[in-house]
């Protein structure tokens, strides 16, 4: 999986080729397996919500008595997740 390149092709016009320096090919089963190993420790975060992962998606569910409590719980969790992502060199797709 080294010396890979990518380019965009629209109709009969191709862009310049660019080197791929990280990642795995899209649709490659190894990609999901590597992702699972890579993010497995996210469950060690002391989140206030219930984290659920499926393939390359995540959801956090909450149970709160009012909107203020819900906002505080979500804000706390987002800060923890942001710190975890920074330490793991990941970015959040907002």
Regions of the chain where pLDDT drops below 70:
1, 23-28, 55-56, 93-94
Using CB atoms within 10 A of its CB, is residue 52 exposed (0-12), middle (13-18) or buried (19+)?
exposed
Q: What is the pLDDT of residue 25?
A: 67
For the whole prediction, is pTM greater than 0.75?
no
> Coil, helix or strand for 22?
coil
Closest CA to 59 of 72, 47, 71, 69: 47
Domain ranges of the chain: 4-87
């Amino acid at each position: 999986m080294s010396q890979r390149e990518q380019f965009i092709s629209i109709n009969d016009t191709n862009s310049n080729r660019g080197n791929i320096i990280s990642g795995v090919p899209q649709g490659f089963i190894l990609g999901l397996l590597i992702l699972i190993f890579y993010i497995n420790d996210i469950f060690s975060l002391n989140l206030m919500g219930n984290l659920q992962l499926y393939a390359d998606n995540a959801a956090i569910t909450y149970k709160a008595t009012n909107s203020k409590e819900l906002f505080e719980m979500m804000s706390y969790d987002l800060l923890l997740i942001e710190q975890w992502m920074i330490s793991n060199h990941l970015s959040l797709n907002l």
